[in-house]
Amino acid sequence: MRPEASVLHLDLDAFFASVEQRDKPSLRGKPVVVGGVGARGVVATASYEARVFGVRSAMPGGEARRRCPHAAFLGGRFDAYREASGRVMDRLRALSPLVEPLSLDEAFVDLRTAESVPDYDTATLQRLVDALRASISEATDGLTASVGVGTSKFMAKIASELAKPDGSWIVEPGTEVALLAPMAVGVIPGVGPVTVDKLQRVGLHRVGDLQAVDVDELAQVLGRNAATALVALAHARDDRPVEAEREAKSISTEDTFERDLTDVAELTAILQRDARQVARRLTAAGLFARTVTLKLRRHDFSTITRSRTVLSATDRADVIASVAQSLLAGVDVTDGVRLLGVGVAGLTDVLQEDLFAEAEVAAAGAAADPAGLAGAAPVEHPEPPRRSGWTPGADVEHDEHGPGWVWGSGLGRVTVRFETRTSGPGPVRTFGVDDPHLRLRGGTPVA
């Protein structure tokens, strides 16, 4: 814990849903739920209007629909989220060279390296935070952020939670223990439902209870290491540094064949097997990967590598396999492949919930197997569900009516609301899915 409040934590408010409301005027002020839209979909983010009805992140989509049936349920637009996130991270790096992104919508900033912070009194910090939030809103066309500042990562994170939504909170040095005392024990990082249950069974419900407990007594319930760490955090003792760069790591596996392979189904089966092996190694190491790489060597020994970064870190074999398969789909293998491999990079030991995994798998699978050739390949797990390209919320373009987004689709039709970020709410029209004048924005018609 530092003597001054010099660690900043920024969290964009209801990020994915806020981007959708920003870009879709008809949804502003209305319940919006973003995530997997299939039967096994999971809520990634719910707007504050949807949270009033009890919709929360990580909730099954079916439960969310029961609680808020009138909400707009949209699939993820990864490019839009990454673009907005990039603008925010650029503003943070302009403030300080020490920025540690945790996900697309969350980051720590070390203010000790910020040239614009002459001192750390509350008034100075408040002016800095207000200017930062205004700058981010301007850079992202209106997105809001909650910002906390404290003497450690833990306290800065607590502060940003207290500031939600669209606010700021500065924890002055020396006030940490008193601030934490009345909070539920679940606010401490790593204290999940199982640990909460164990603590409550021995009468420890609030952080203040942990502040008063003896480490030796707590060790009998949780073990020595966990008890020591928990009591330290209960007293706001956290010395973790803000780390701008992580050690470069990767895990990969590859196969060299006795004969050149040209069969897509056979190559797909090999990719799936290699992805399972990579996933097992990730699991064994307690790691998650953000980037999937395909390596392919042709018959003439020329080597091709293709990479794609997924929305959130994963150790799932089906996600890795589907992304690798989509990368393979962009390579001509008719002359033969002599080596094929799958690798992962951007490794982290912190799992940012892979709430869009279903959407990533479906999108990658559709791109990888447009002709359905992989269906004949032997697999150990069921093939991920396929979905129409007309995912609710997807950006589209019509030759006559201009840009819009998919309101819904089914029975050979797709309904589109024609509006943009700056147009105001627009009209709704329905077309056949094979309408040659309608296409995904930046793409081709989906037939």
Question: Which residues belong to the active site?
Answer: 106
Q: Is 263 annotated as a binding residue?
A: no
Residue 81: both structure tokens together: 């989220």
Torsion of CA 178, 179, 183, 185, to 10 degrees: -70
Q: What is the dihedral of CA 421, 409, 81, 65, to 10 degrees?
A: 100
Q: Which pair of tokens denotes residue 147?
A: 């910002």
Tokens, residue 182 = 């009345």
| Sheet with 7-12, edge to edge strand ranges | 99-103, 106-110, 7-12, 145-150, 168-170
Question: 11: annotated binding-site residue?
Answer: yes
For helices 264-285 and 317-328, angle between their N-to-C axes, nearest 10 degrees:
140
The span from the CA of 206 to the CA of 180, in Å, is 9
Angle at 11 between CA 127 and CA 153, to 5 degrees: 80
The CA distance from 216 to 194, in Å, is 20
- DSSP letters for 24-53: -GGGTTS-EEEE--STT-BEEEE-HHHHTT
Phi-psi region of 203 (alpha: psi -120 to 50; beta: other; left: phi over 0): left
- Residue 298: how many CB atoms within 10 A of its CB? 17
- As given in the structure block, the two tokens for residue 113 are 């390296």
Q: Look at residues 67, 12, 27 and name the one whose alpha carbon lies nearest to residue 392.
A: 27
Structure tokens at 386: 């396929």
Enumerate the β-bridge partners of residue 395: 405
Binding-site annotation: residue ranges for Mg(2+): 11, 105
Binding-site annotation: residue ranges: 11, 105
